[in-house]
Amino acid sequence: MSATLLSVRDLRVEFAERRGPLIALDGVSFEIAPGEVLGVVGESGAGKSLTGLAIIGLLDPPGHIAGGEIRLDGERIDNLPPVRMRALRGRRIGMIFQDPLTSLNPLLRVGDQLTETILAHLSLTRREARERAIDWLAEVGIPSPAQRIDGYPHEFSGGMRQRVVIALALCAEPALIIADEPTTALDVSIQAQIIGVLRKVTRVHGAAVMLITHDMGVIAEMADRVAVMYAGRIVEIGAIGDVARRPLHPYAVGLMAAIPTLETRAGRLEQIPGTMPRLSAIPRGCAFNPRCPRVFYRCEAERPPLIAVGARSAACWLYDAEAAPAAASVGYSR
């Protein structure tokens, strides 16, 4: 995983309003290597799904990319014309959405949707495309795929529909898969099956995966690295084992503390006080400072960049060589 497949640098997404632009993503940067799974976690409104939509070119107006760049295999894709982006979408980048009912056309047979996608991106005859579609249904665990291929979406269970959506995202064999909350609407046993399908298929075909979720259990099962997002920025990024066992950023610490474990018995789950700020009311300095138990004066005045801490990075002044001693000497303000 030494090469870089996807490179996102200083991505900025804005929503135009009469009173001025609302900044939804501000300076988001990360890379994904071929065959790697990058998990993206955070509360609702952190900017996880918006990042995925920006990469695949599906931002709804008035949202637009206002700065930075996105490169796939070294080619810049954030400024491509719509026709070229449509050709790239599906062939080079696949998308798995949260709700399979909104991803599948209820009026078309599952096989027709798979076949049309394959024909749009690969040079095959219709018969070959149908055979390829049956193979993909089998690969994602649909029983009796030769018979089920002619079924309509409503004839499949929720878990089976999500398997079809995975097949639809992978059937053109894209290099990058963006999976946006792929297990949220499913019960726990089906979630485990879908995770297994995703893990197997991506490893076999060598696809890189950007896995967007709020479920740290899903991230722990699948991801190699994890990026923690808050208020449109990445506040910590590193190997999943490091971030899960010893998070650095106070927000990441709060997220990990809120996960129940079998080792400890507690009357109440830990929680982070307060809520995610609105786009129109993001605080000055570190956006997390009103909720942070370790805040000091610099947090309220300056926005911290991602600071390297060993093999990972955290956007927190506690890890700045100059700021940390000052924080220790003056104490915390809350």
All structural domains of the chain, each given as residue ranges with its CATH number in brackets, are 6-230 (3.40.50.300), 233-261+282-330 (no CATH)
Helix (H) or strand (E) segment spanning residue 111: helix 110-121
Please provide the DSSP assignment of 21-58 as one string: -EEEEEEEEEEE-TT-EEEEE-STTSSHHHHHHHHHT-
> What's the distance, CA 109 to chain centroid?
29
35: left (phi over 0), alpha (psi -120 to 50) or beta: left
Are 236 and 313 contacting, i.e. CB atoms less than 8 angstroms apart?
yes
DSSP state of 263: S
The amino acid present at 334, given as its one-letter code, is: R
Alpha-carbon distance 124 to 84, whole Å? Answer: 21
Per-residue pLDDT of the chain (334 residues; tens, 9 = 90+): 458 999 999 999 999 988 889 999 999 999 999 999 999 999 999 999 999 999 999 999 999 999 999 999 999 999 999 999 998 998 999 999 877 777 899 999 999 999 999 999 999 999 999 999 999 999 888 999 999 999 999 999 988 998 999 999 989 889 999 999 888 767 777 888 888 888 887 788 888 999 999 888 888 888 999 999 999 999 999 999 999 999 999 999 998 887 776 666 666 777 889 999 999 999 999 999 999 999 999 999 999 999 999 999 999 999 987 655 555 554 444 4
pTM across the whole model: 0.90
